[in-house]
Structure 1
Amino acid sequence: MHIPSWLLRFPVGLFAIPVGLLALGGAWRRATQFGWAWARDVGDLLAWSALAVLAVLLLIYLAKCLRHPQTIAAEFTHPLAGSLMALVPLSILLCIIYFGTPGHAGWLLLLLATLAMQGVIAIRIVAIITNASLPAGAVTPALYVPPVAGGYVGGMALQVLGYPGWAALLLGMGLVSWALLEIRVLNRLFEGAMPEALRPTIGLELAPATVGTLTVATLWPQLPGELLIIGLGIAAGPLVAVMARYKWWGHLPFAIGFWSFSFPVAAFAAVLIEVVYRGAWPPAVAAVGLALASVVIAFLALSTLRLLAQGRLIPTAPAPTAPRP
């Protein structure tokens, strides 16, 4: 049977698309707190669109796993490709957050299976991180995805299904992982430019503070907005680090890696909505943040569709990646 060559080159980074769309859908759904009933419709449209994209990507990725197991195994042991593999369970966790209901055995089983998958990837990446021989070129913000984003988003999913104690435990694990990585990754960013193929992933540097604050807001809905806004203040540091390097990533042609900005931007909008609502600020402040996040992700979506129309969505050759440890 003929196996299409593009299947071998199918990048797992494409799963950042449903991650970003689901995160933005969740932000829109939170905006219903202001009495904007139509915001739920927008959120549902984004979430169902993300679910459709996710279903297609999962089928393709399953075919790749079956047809090219050696390639999957090689990617799993690579610090960059292995980190991006965590986007697969991360997107499923976000589906659980949006669509899941407490007390449903099916959702719980899906969550446990997804957390197990996330845990396997995170343990592998933590093992790589703690290896003293990890090259400087392998230190990228993508390392945050398995242990940090997995802990945060897994915590939110557990909270949605009615397990607040376990949710707090995963939040703590995510915070420890962030502490383990933050100084090392920031130092790497300030040492000099990453290889061009890796630079679009710099948006992930914005994720830990914003997504972590969103997790705190989800786990403790009684917290006042004044406390949540501290998280946005913490996020200012990574934002400066990313924008200070605009000259070496801003000129690059669009690539799927730029979806790395989608999750943190959507999380920022969601946190801002919570800050405004809990602090009784003018809703217009939240509307501006939500509109900006929507514009950013709309740009990413349109640019992706352009790549698809041009036949350039799947790279013609394996992209250069960070060196192995």
Structure 2
Amino acid sequence: MPPTCDAPAQASAPQTPHLLPPTAFGIVLGLAALGRAWRLAADTWHVPPLIGEGLLTAAALAWVVLVVPYLMQWRHHDDSTLPHALKDGGHALPAIATLQLVPALLPHSLFAAWVLGLLGIGWQLAFALWHTGRLWRGGHPGHDATPALYLPTVAGNFTSGATLGMLGQPDFGWLLVGAGLFSWLSLESLVVRRLWKPGGLPPAQRAQLGIQFAPPMVCGAACIALAPHADQPWLPLLWGYGLFQLLLGLRMAGWLGASRFDARFAWAYSFGIGCAAICAVRLAETGNHAAHVLALPVFIAANAVIGWLGLRTLFQWARPAPGVAAT
């Protein structure tokens, strides 16, 4: 497993190769965001609605497959090693992934959607407060300032706000989106400064830049969930900054892909790309001229990228790792 900043304490180092990295939950985020985009497209462009429902179902199945081994692995940590093992902000992803099940469940069971929504919001808020409290105490090396810092307070609050909007509580949802927005603005300069330092990010950590590209798109998708039919003049601003970030990712594709493909980390790009498609379809529905020109290419590109990630992931999982006997 490529080294990441969520490495556990030295005392638990022998267990590290067996840990499921939280970044694997990016699979759930990417599939769910693309499923939401297809749902919007079914209303706007009259595409088959079953595609969106199928993607949301696939996201729910991926969550089930991942959440059990992720939770079970923590039984190997005692009270002294657990805080260090959880120091990486990436451990917010399982809670964020739990929130992605809410749109999949809503058409079938409002009660189940509320249960998982409250579970995910409570899980995310508890971890965000605990993690941020550790950061504010200081004493952290500069190389820890990676885009993973966005996950607890930015992505977590955006998705929690979006969930409350889907559950019919937009007034509470806007509070969490506000927490996410100002957390993003306060952290971005810190992360960019880290990227500027000599040496930059090592190849094994460069997939985290998929998180760097996501906040404007995830914020836009949250605003759509909170006010799906309202005129939102700031939505093109968020979408424009997100598109610039994605173009920057294309410009840096060779540098970003310097390390071998690993599905557990490569899906970091998928959530922002899926949310870009959500914003594209919504803006096209409002009659925005730029979206009228760009929405379909962005939607197709999002499907192509996430589809490619899915195929590469299946191909990787179908082959045993080098030096490991197939079971």
Short-chain TM bin? 0.7 to 0.9
Confirm or deny: 8 A CA contact 2:164 2:173 kept in the other structure. yes
Q: Which residue of 2 aligns with 1:321?
A: none
1:199 is aligned, of 196, 206, 216, to 206
Q: Which residue of 2 aligns with 1:216?
A: 223
| Distance in 2 of aligned mates of 1:242 and 1:134 | 28
Q: Which amino acid aligns with 1:173?
A: A
Provide structure 1 residue ranges, at least 5 long, that are not aligned to the other structure: 317-325
Confirm or deny: 8 A CA contact 1:189 1:241 kept in the other structure. no
Confirm or deny: 8 A CA contact 2:101 2:116 kept in the other structure. no
Residues 276-285 or 286-295, more deviating? 276-285
Residues 304, 244 of structure 1: alpha-carbon distance in 2 compared, 3 angstrom cutoff: same
1:278 is aligned, of 283, 286, 289, to 286
Matches within 5 A, 1:158-169: 158-169=164-175
Q: Which amino acid aligns with 2:257?
A: G
Residues 131, 196 of structure 1: alpha-carbon distance in 2 compared, 3 angstrom cutoff: farther
Q: Which amino acid aligns with 2:216?
A: A
| Distance in 2 of aligned mates of 1:280 and 1:241 | 23
| Distance in 2 of aligned mates of 1:170 and 1:272 | 23
- 1:190 deviates by 2.3
Is residue 258 from structure 1 mapped to residue 266 from structure 2 by the alignment? yes
Q: Which residue of 2 aligns with 1:302?
A: 311
Residues 46, 236 of structure 1: alpha-carbon distance in 2 compared, 3 angstrom cutoff: closer
- 1:243 deviates by 5.1
Q: CA RMSD in A?
A: 2.8
Residues 311, 74 of structure 1: alpha-carbon distance in 2 compared, 3 angstrom cutoff: farther
| Distance in 2 of aligned mates of 1:103 and 1:12 | 28
- 1:213 deviates by 1.3
Is residue 94 from structure 1 mapped to residue 103 from structure 2 by the alignment? no
Is residue 19 from structure 1 mapped to residue 25 from structure 2 by the alignment? no
Residues 107, 49 of structure 1: alpha-carbon distance in 2 compared, 3 angstrom cutoff: closer
Provide structure 2 residue ranges, at least 5 long, that are not aligned to the other structure: 1-14
Is residue 9 from structure 1 mapped to residue 15 from structure 2 by the alignment? no
Is residue 248 from structure 1 mapped to residue 260 from structure 2 by the alignment? no
| Distance in 2 of aligned mates of 1:52 and 1:7 | 24
Residues 292, 246 of structure 1: alpha-carbon distance in 2 compared, 3 angstrom cutoff: closer
Q: Which residue of 2 aligns with 1:120?
A: 126
- 1:200 deviates by 1.1
Is residue 268 from structure 1 mapped to residue 281 from structure 2 by the alignment? no
Residues 210, 244 of structure 1: alpha-carbon distance in 2 compared, 3 angstrom cutoff: same
Is residue 171 from structure 1 mapped to residue 177 from structure 2 by the alignment? yes
1:147-195 deviations in Å (ceiling 9; x for gaps): 1111111111101111111101111111121122111011112224212
Confirm or deny: 8 A CA contact 2:154 2:183 kept in the other structure. yes
- 1:233 deviates by 2.1
Secondary structure in 2 matching 1:204: helix
Secondary structure in 1 matching 2:168: coil
Secondary structure in 2 matching 1:86: helix
| Distance in 2 of aligned mates of 1:230 and 1:223 | 16
Q: Which amino acid aligns with 2:126?
A: V
| Distance in 1 of aligned mates of 2:205 and 2:307 | 22
- 1:306 deviates by 2.0
Q: Which residue of 2 aligns with 1:319?
A: none
- 1:69 deviates by 5.2
1:183-214 deviations in Å (ceiling 9; x for gaps): 10111122242122211111100111111111
Residues 166, 236 of structure 1: alpha-carbon distance in 2 compared, 3 angstrom cutoff: same
Residues 286, 73 of structure 1: alpha-carbon distance in 2 compared, 3 angstrom cutoff: same
Residues 134, 6 of structure 1: alpha-carbon distance in 2 compared, 3 angstrom cutoff: closer
| Distance in 2 of aligned mates of 1:176 and 1:6 | 34
Give percent identity, aligned residues only.
Answer: 27
- 1:77 deviates by 3.6
Q: Which amino acid aligns with 2:303?
A: S
Q: Which amino acid aligns with 2:320?
A: G
1:235-282 deviations in Å (ceiling 9; x for gaps): 255446645644432232112212111000010111011111112658
Q: Which residue of 2 aligns with 1:288?
A: 297
| Distance in 2 of aligned mates of 1:273 and 1:253 | 33
Q: Which residue of 2 aligns with 1:137?
A: 143
| Distance in 2 of aligned mates of 1:245 and 1:71 | 40
Q: Which amino acid aligns with 2:208?
A: T
Secondary structure in 2 matching 1:45: helix
Is residue 65 from structure 1 mapped to residue 74 from structure 2 by the alignment? yes
1:36 is aligned, of 35, 39, 46, to 46
- 1:116 deviates by 1.4
Q: Which residue of 1 aligns with 2:8?
A: none
1:103-159 deviations in Å (ceiling 9; x for gaps): 944432332222111112111332243344221210111111111111111111101
